[in-house]
């Protein structure tokens, strides 16, 4: 199975941007918990859900790269 140039571009962009999103989500969640520790119970589930959706985009990019 050959890996084309377009597959590499899909993986590069499809991996970088979700990774950036996951980092920003985590950073902002920790910042919010630092400001209001009592709200950690409400912030953490929303953070994990947002990270899961961002990571799903990377998985879709991986699938597209192998289909190409």
CATH number at residue 32: 1.20.20.10
Number of CB atoms found within 10 A of residue 44's CB: 14
Phi, psi of 4 (to 5 degrees): -80, 170
Helix H or strand E segment including 29: helix 5-35
Copy the structure tokens of residue 2: 């050959």
Range of the domain at 21: 5-67
Decide: 61 and 11 in contact? Cβ < 8 Å. Answer: yes
Prediction pTM value: 0.80
pLDDT band at 6 (very low <50, low <70, confident <90, very high): confident
How many domains does the structure of the chain reveal? 1
Residue-level pLDDT at 47 = 96
Q: What are the pLDDT digits (tens) for 21-68?
A: 999 999 999 999 999 999 999 999 999 999 999 999 999 988 988 886
By CB atoms closer than 10 A (0-12, 13-18, 19+), residue 52 is exposed
């Amino acid at each position: 199975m050959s890996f084309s140039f377009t597959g590499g571009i899909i993986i590069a962009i499809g991996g970088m941007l979700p990774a950036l999103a996951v980092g920003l989500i985590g950073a902002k969640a920790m910042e919010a918990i630092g400001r209001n520790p009592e709200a950690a119970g409400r912030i953490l589930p929303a953070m994990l859900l947002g990270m899961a959706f961002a990571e799903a985009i990377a998985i879709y990019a991986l699938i597209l790269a192998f289909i190409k």
